[in-house]
Amino acid sequence: MTALELVTRERHEAVHLFQDRTTGVRFIVAIHSTVRGPAVGGCRMWPYANLDAALGDALRLSKGMSYKAALAGLPYGGGKSVVIGDPHTDKTRELLAVIGRAVDSLGGRYTVSDDVGIGAADVAVIAESTRFACAPLLADGRAAPATAFGTFQGIRAVAAHVFGSDALAGRSIAVQGLGAVGWQLCAYLAEAGARLYVTDLDGSLARAAAERWGAVPVATDVILEQPVDVLAPCALGGILNSGTVPRLRCRAIAGAANNQLAAAADGRALAARGIAYAPDYAINVGGLVDLVHALRPGYDVAAVLDDCRAIFDRTRMILEEAARSGEAPSVVADRLAEARLAQR
């Protein structure tokens, strides 16, 4: 499907392509929905092969933001922007200023934040050209602590649903990816007494987790097949697919990675195998919660964490509704989000 076909199918409210004649910078803003409030979402900088690939990414990511915000009951819509380029070589102050001026021209319909390739420091430069730019505040502009804390609540919720107790002491949990979120998540899990099985493409991180928390390092190609209570994907999207789902040996899945299901059918395949799945966007919303607090006056860390705690009840509700209705949890979450997006 081409990106233009995707715009039509997903009915995005607006898609803007900015081209700066002086610098050659190409910047896309996709606004999926402002029904619940102005759109918020990060800017991703990536050396996309072509404009169609960049547009496709912006469309998918902005829709994801709409669903994430709606499910969490936040009064914001979904937007996302992408800028084509290599963040290591092409990121200049002028490029960031181009982004800032473009966002500013939208008059507040979209507020830009950080994402892959655009960090909190870059958002600060963008903010010199627009007041519609904001980075999450927790831990000096990194969303990950709030995301990890929220994901931890999601893991407690699946444990409560599957095992009848949210206590994680002695539970075996496999964490795929020990980056900003995965590492911090391991800290919460270890503190709760979980037994950790960990992997990362960077083997030194798994060794460091072994030293710090007694985690068991596992090869990257077998992490999904660990016979554990909970699998926590915190690296890539698309890892739950027709090739991997039949090989899983976990009782439940709850992790931070975006777009874990390769296709909607994979959510149903998990349910058919009796594996409880906490929909990714229901439990990885902590970074967005933090951002929303940063957009308001009077930022308060305790209030951010309190809002992240609500992920526990929300996830339980989704899992219970799925058990009651016989639908997959991913289907229940989408239905709830879509119902909220349909309200004016």
Q: Residues with catalytic annotation?
A: 80
Helix (H, G, I), strand (E, B) or coil at 292: helix
- Out of 41, 56, 177, 267, point to the residue binding ligand NAD (CB under 6 A): 177
State which amino acid sits at residue 129.
Answer: S
Contact 95, 23 (CB under 8 A): yes
238 forms part of the interface with ligand NAD (CB under 6 A) = no
Phi, psi of 241 (to 5 degrees): -140, 180
Residue among 6 and 223 whose Cβ is closer to ligand NAD: 223
Among residues 178, 196, 218, 245, the one that binds ligand NAD under rule CB under 6 A: 178
Instruction: Please tell me whether residue 332 binds ligand NAD under the rule CB under 6 A.
Output: no
Name which of 333, 301, 302 is nearest 157 in CA terms. 333
Spatial CA neighbour of 250 closest among 264, 269, 270: 270
Q: Does 201 engage in binding with ligand NAD (CB under 6 A)?
A: yes
Cα–Cα–Cα angle for 163, 311, 241, rounded to 5 degrees: 70
Question: Structure tokens of 190?
Answer: 């270890």
User: Strands 77-84 and 172-176: what pairing?
Assistant: unpaired
Is 292 a binding residue for ligand NAD by CB under 6 A? The answer is no
Does residue 182 bind ligand NAD (CB under 6 A)? yes
Kindly state whether residue 133 participates in binding ligand NAD, applying the rule CB under 6 A: no
For residues 99 and 55, the answer to whether their CB atoms sit within 8 Å is no
Pick between residue 4 and residue 303 the one whose CB is nearest to ligand NAD. Answer: 303
Q: Is 176 in the site for ligand NAD (CB under 6 A)?
A: yes
Q: Residue 102 or 137: which CB sits closer to ligand NAD?
A: 137
Residue 143 touches ligand NAD, criterion: CB under 6 A = yes
By rule CB under 6 A, what count of residues binds ligand NAD? 24
The answer to the question of residue 199 lying near ligand NAD (CB under 6 A) is yes
315 lies in the site for ligand NAD, by CB under 6 A: no
Residue with smaller CB distance to ligand NAD, 181 or 250: 181
CA separation for the pair 39, 30 (Å, rounded): 9
Does 253 bind ligand NAD (CB under 6 A)? Our answer is no
- CB closer to ligand NAD, 19 vs 242: 242
- Judge contact between 57 and 48, C-beta under 8 A: yes
- CB of 176 closer than 8 Å to CB of 250: no
* Of 215, 221, 236, the residue nearest 172 (C-alpha): 215
Smallest distance from the beta carbon of 201 to ligand NAD, in angstroms? 4
Token digits of residue 180: 């900003």
The correct pick among 113, 147, 226, 330 for binding ligand NAD (CB under 6 A) is 147
- If one asks whether residue 71 binds ligand NAD (CB under 6 A), the answer comes out as no
Residue with token string 């830009």? 112
* Contact footprint for ligand NAD (CB under 6 A): 143-144, 147, 176-182, 199-202, 220, 234-237, 256-258, 284, 287
